[in-house]
Amino acid sequence: MKPKVFIDQLGRKVVLNDKPSRIVSLVPSQTELLYDLGLDDRVVGITKFCIHPTHWYESKVRVGGTKNVNIERVRALNPDLILANKEENTKEDITQLETIAPVWISDINSFDNALDMIRSFGEVLGCEESAEKQIADITLAFSNSVIDSWNSALYLIWKDPDYCAGKVTFISSMMEKAGFNNVCPHPRYPEVGTFKMQQPAYILLSSEPYPFKERDCDEYLKRYPLSKVIVVDGEMFSWYGSRMRLAANYFKQLQNEIGRH
């Protein structure tokens, strides 16, 4: 087979000699997507944070975390493709991993970026039909879940210190889909307090990466007395891939719940 050249989302050339059959995924949401694309036998390694699907988490080789990949464990798996992400994985790890196998890197800052990534997976992995079905299902789910109410919101991803999601993030794009206007003016993930803002209608406490719980709400209500504070499912707002299909209905239920209070 003649080598094929693919371009990843960082504009890098990724050369593959054959259809990948030994894939290592270093991104939890992309791991779930690989499962939903029907690639069970072709995925040989995942991270300790790749918790979906459960039976993959229990049966696949785990190669460390997203920020501290066990390079030698990856090498031992003899992969022919490694799937990574600019934000999730470190440049140092990527440099080492490139000595083992081609590395395809995603860069997801919007809803459309995520759909582009799914389509690219279809092309790179030779499962175009499954990828297009995922895109169609996600698009349909959101077309059937139109949000017509908008509320200002601040989305917190970490505590002590508090960090939030900025405007140029996948989370912010999903906030729009969920009917929230992100009040954070910064592009990425600034520490709260480093910028000025009016108290938003809602403070959204994400269940990940920091595991906010209902008990945290009272603390933030004291800080933001003019806002309503709720805990939201972080996977629905931050996992790009097949979980987006489920996010549409979750957002609709969330807005219905908000409307009742």
**188-205 exposure pattern, b = at least 16 Cβ within 10 A, e = fewer:** eebebeeeeeeebbbbbb
Q: Which CATH superfamily is domain 151-259 in?
A: Nitrogenase molybdenum iron protein domain (3.40.50.1980)
The average confidence (pLDDT) of the chain is: 96
What pLDDT, on a 0 to 100 scale, did the predictor assign at position 1? 67
- Which residues are CB-contacts of 84 (< 8 A; sequence separation ≥ 6)? 26, 27, 93, 94, 97, 103, 104, 105, 106
Across 77-102, average pLDDT: 98
DSSP-derived secondary structure for 112-177: HHHHHHHHHHHHHHT-HHHHHHHHHHHHHHHHTS-----EEEEEEEETTTTEE--SSSHHHHHHHH
Q: Contact, 154 vs 192, CB < 8 A?
A: yes
User: Looking at the domain that runs over 4-141, which CATH code has it been given?
Assistant: 3.40.50.1980
Cis peptide before 185 (omega within 30 of 0): no
Q: Which two tokens stand for residue 209?
A: 């990466």
User: What is the rounded CA–CA span in Å between residue 16 and residue 246?
Assistant: 32
Write the pLDDT tens digit of every residue in 213-224. Answer: 999 999 999 999
Residue 59 has pLDDT above 70, yes or no: yes
| Residue-range domain boundaries for the chain | 4-141, 151-259
What pLDDT, on a 0 to 100 scale, did the predictor assign at position 2? 85
Measured CA to CA in angstroms, residue 93 lies from 84, 131, 148, 238 at distances of: 10, 28, 43, 22
Across 83-103, average pLDDT: 98
Q: Contact, 172 vs 124, CB < 8 A?
A: no
Choose the weakest-confidence range: 82-86, 245-249, 253-257.
253-257
DSSP assigned state of 61:
E
Residue 241 has pLDDT above 90, yes or no: yes
User: What is the rounded CA–CA span in Å between residue 137 and residue 243?
Assistant: 11
Q: Which two tokens stand for residue 200?
A: 């938003």
Pairing outcome for strands 151-158 and 103-106: unpaired
Which H or E run contains 4? Answer: strand 4-7
1 by Cβ neighbours in 10 Å (0-12 / 13-18 / 19+) ranks as exposed
Write the pLDDT tens digit of every residue in 6-47. Answer: 999 999 999 999 999 999 999 999 999 999 999 999 999 999
